[in-house]
Structure 1
Amino acid sequence: MFEFLEAVVQDYMTADIKTVGRSMTLADLEQRFEADDYNTYPVVEGDDVIGVVSKFDFLKCFAFTTYSLVPHYDDLMKQTVGDVMTAEYIYVGPATKLTRVLQLMVEHRLRSMPVLGPKGGLVGMISRVDVVHALGVATRNL
């Protein structure tokens, strides 16, 4: 288990990731979620990560409440990623310990989060699957 305590994000993150832009429609986003089997995409503008959009963000616009009526499905699907994304997001760096990642995931019920380099550029994503894999590697060595 000591191996997990020393493990860092850069050793387990996914570096080859796909991103979306804020102008992408929800209809296109839905297709991307299905094709890529991602739970969260970083939303980028130029070289900057301006937010994240998750399946949860996508589904929120379809939720019924006593305060709002849900528009027609086609109207909802014309909304953009910028309309539903989370602009204030949690991220980690490549040198962040996986114990900290695990803590953030549990505290904030996150499935994945962006990994930003020292200058703020996107270098990868770290997900629950990555953390589970790291735990498995650490416990196999016992």
Structure 2
Amino acid sequence: MLVREVMTAPVVTVPRTWTATQAVRLLCEKDITAAPVVDESGRMIGIVSEMDLLRGELEADPRAYLHFAAASDARPALEVEEVMTPNVKTVREDTDVLELVELLVTMGMKSVPVVRGDELVGIVSRRDLMRMLAAGGDDADQ
């Protein structure tokens, strides 16, 4: 089976100038775990995942420390570009799904963008692969 048969398209993307909070809302609204980050021309420059956003949005609570830290003014909103993963592993549409699974397992990734040359054409998540397995039916029935 090839990646094009299980990928999700079109891809939900996030502009690099969005705030991390906007990206959190989008991922929740679309029920996805990651989204490619694109520049003004639509070119993929990274990917932002739930974990990237959690790390970027949550900070230590000073009440958890014995020594009181002086309260600082509210920090400026983080942009997606500041928390995203910039070096993205990708696959092509004609990549074998087994190669994709190996990439997911060895790299600990949850989602992999699918490209055609420099163009972003899809994304495959672990959930997409689980749906593929579920649609395959029960082995006992065969």
Q: Above 0.5 in TM-score?
A: yes
Match of 1:14 in 2: 8
Matched, 1:44 2:38: yes
Matches within 5 A, 1:26-41: 26-41=20-35
Segments of structure 2 that go 5 or more residues without pairing to the other structure are 61-68
List per-residue Cα deviations over 1:76-95 (Å, max 9, x = no partner).
Answer: 6x110010010001111100
Q: Aligned match of 1:128 in 109, 122, 126?
A: 126
Q: Which has the larger radius of gyration?
A: 2
How many residues align? The count is 130
List per-residue Cα deviations over 1:51-92 (Å, max 9, x = no partner).
Answer: 00001101112254xxxx9x979526x110010010001111
Q: Structure 2 CA distance, aligned partners of 1:136 and 1:31?
A: 28
Using a 3 Å threshold, how does the CA distance of structure 1 residues 73 and 44 change in structure 2: closer, same or farther? Answer: farther
Q: For residue 16 of structure 1, what is the amino acid of its counterpart?
A: P
List structure 1 segments (4+ residues) > 6 angstroms apart after TM superposition.
none
TM-fit CA distance, 1:16: 1.8
Counting aligned pairs with the same residue, the percent is 28
List per-residue Cα deviations over 1:96-125 (Å, max 9, x = no partner).
Answer: 0000111111111111110001x2100000
3-state SS of paired residue (1:75): coil
Match of 1:25 in 2: 19
Using a 3 Å threshold, how does the CA distance of structure 1 residues 137 and 52 change in structure 2: closer, same or farther? Answer: same
Segments of structure 1 that go 5 or more residues without pairing to the other structure are 1-6
Match of 1:107 in 2: 106
Q: RMSD over aligned Cα, in angstroms?
A: 2.4
Taking structure 1 as the reference length, the TM-score comes to: 0.80
Matched, 1:87 2:86: yes
Match of 1:4 in 2: none
3-state SS of paired residue (1:60): helix
